[in-house]
Structure 1
Amino acid sequence: MTTPPSSAPFRFPVAARYAGMESSPLKDIFALAAREDVVSFAGGIPDPELFALEEVTACYDWVLSQQGDRALQYGVSEGELELREQAARRVSRDLPTDASQIRVTSGSQEGLFVVAQALLEPGDVVLVESPTYLAAVQAFAVHGARMIGVDTDDDGVIPEALEEAIRTHHPRMVYLIPTFQNPTGRTMPLERRQAVAEVLQRTDVPLIEDDPYGALSFTGSTWAPIAALPGMGERTILLNSMSKLMSPGVRIGWMRAEGPVLDTLAVAKAAISMQSSVVDQLMVARYLETVDLDAHVARVSAVYRERRDAMSAAIAPVLPDGAHVTRPEGGMFLWAALGEGYDAQEMLADAVEAGVAYLPGWSFYADHADRSTMRLSFVTHSPAVIEDAVARLGEVIAAHRA
């Protein structure tokens, strides 16, 4: 006898690792950014007026006219040689690197997923900064890892807390963003980097170092990655991306590593996406060969600095007594902790109603979230727009004051 069809709508069974993930903070970021009636500080969305459109167009034209048959064909999982050579040249400014040590990814976000696929088993512990990049938490969590947040201060992760967490939790790896961190904008000074490296070497724990923002300096100073410190190159997978420097729409980044793990990363990459877009890889390689990326980044950073200054000046007087706010020396984000009695998630609906959005900070914590926190990106809008929107945000904060 045939069972009559159910009147309930059909639902595909979903893997347990994605249960409850029908939405995500990243999806919500882009939804808010698309609303014309809201000034969004929620996402790190570059101002399209700052894109090097003419140079990128010329590079695509050259690739398609000179290498069209190859550009539109399958490629290799490791990445196209021209791009790996250009990436190696950039990384070698701080850490001697050759093309064989580079693996190309579709942005550093895919790099995180490749690392998780290659290194993590269900139940493994990953130590992360508290707070940390929310999409890294997602990438590790869907592979069954358990994230443990390590205490931080204004100089980044605290070495003593990191050593204690390693001793207690026996992690598979440590994930850090030392320069212009997302979400806080903090940067580890050299002494802190050296102390962290000493802990990792003494405890024999590998480092996943994410550095998508390091070139976006407002002072002209730059910081070599932890991977460049003595003894750290072999135990670090370093992730870089062109998304924040050239264009987020061109999903090209790379990983730098040493030894047998390079083969494992290539196998994991092949299983996930076979290869990154060949035409985009060749375009980026041509761009790095023929365009002065450093000059472009310097122009963009000067604009970002002006917008950082506007947001810092506007937000200081509207924060409650006892609040703490960062003043980053580069990157894209400012982090505010309003303090006891405030819940940034509960405030968000009122803020959006007032025409301004931010990202509540709880989503950046692996555990023990501070719900009074918020991340604000200053890179998308002009100083005048920032000042007006932050003033409206201040009215919302005042209305929620305990």
Structure 2
Amino acid sequence: MSIIKVEGVSKRYRLGLKEKQAKTLMELLGNIIKSPYDNFKRLRSLSKFGEQNESVFWALKDINFEVQQGEVLGIIGKNGAGKSTLLKILSQITEPTSGRIEMRGRVASLLEVGTGFHPELSGRENIYMNGTILGMTRREIDSKLDEIIDFSGVEKFIDTPVKFYSSGMKVRLGFSVAAHLDPEILIIDEVLAVGDYEFQKKCLGKMEDVSKNQGRTVLFVSHNMEAVKALCPKALSLNQGKMHLFDKTENVINDYLQRCFIGEHMQEWSYQDAPGNEFVKFKSIVIRKSINNQASFTVHDDLEVLTEFWLEKDDLRINLSLHLYAGTGECLMNIHSQMPPPTLRKGLHFSTCKFPKKLLNSGFYSISMMIVKDTTTALFELKNALSFEIQDIHREDMHWHGKFPGFFRPDLPFTIQV
């Protein structure tokens, strides 16, 4: 049975236009006279999707999907894709411009730090207020109170006004209230990024328990692809306000990463446009095969990262720090150049970092490069300098051709004694 049904939902915002500043009384009177006509023209332009107008912004366009009772749906997309707008509409914080939504049951939302809290009330009083808003009786809230306070970990401050809470404390209490007050639908935005690792793990476990053991429905928005993959059987991706894909989570995440990591294998700049500062400037950074220059990489290729940079000062002890990230956001390793760092003169310098074959598993990766002085002072960091994909190929020596788990796949000695 569908507990959430979204049909043709769109959300339009009218952007404020900066009017020409009047310098004289006549110009001011002219602006006043023209403003009703200008407003009428803007209102007429809001009627259709296809019409382009600088005062119209469609945050969502024609969104359609259904969620069954007990499902956990992940919602992913780049910043500005429309994820938060969709959740605000589902939480009935804002109305859609067009379309309709059917939701069966009570909805508890945690969209941003402190959502639904009254700053002057204590944590305990806010628990009762939120429960009342959800339609619960005082007896029902009393039965959950100790569990909510214990899960949140803010029992020492539960009778302190919420305005004195840190952002992490607000998130802890907010999630605990939303998850324990028996909502049929739980809506969680990226607020869990505020909490520490232990609390995030605790929250993910609670969401899994709420969906699998209690049969409640969860909508989960996150940039943490591993969390979405672990928690959500199905996912929805948004792109520029439109629904791009609604499918199994693995398919949706793979499609999303392919669109994000289009393969920027090389960056090169002139001296005038080079990123950097008064100490260093990057001239180029490229990842390529050690044998040839083809742009496609496999797990069986030796790879090398070549970096050129200008040093703007004389006699600096310099080393480079390469950060390798997975497509899902985790920093996999930090590699630094030779130690002790060499003392370099002003001018153009060149470095090479080699990745042996079978070190990295198939998947999407990105590289950031940092230039460091005296092993302690970061002079400049080139973030997300390169992005690339490593593909697997047909394995003649194995009958199983599935995806190997993990990010690394080194060829280590591993034998059976006979």
TM-based fold match above 0.5? no
Name which one, 1 or 2, has greater alpha-carbon Rg: 2
Structure whose residues are more often strand by fraction? 2
Structure whose residues are more often helix by fraction? 1
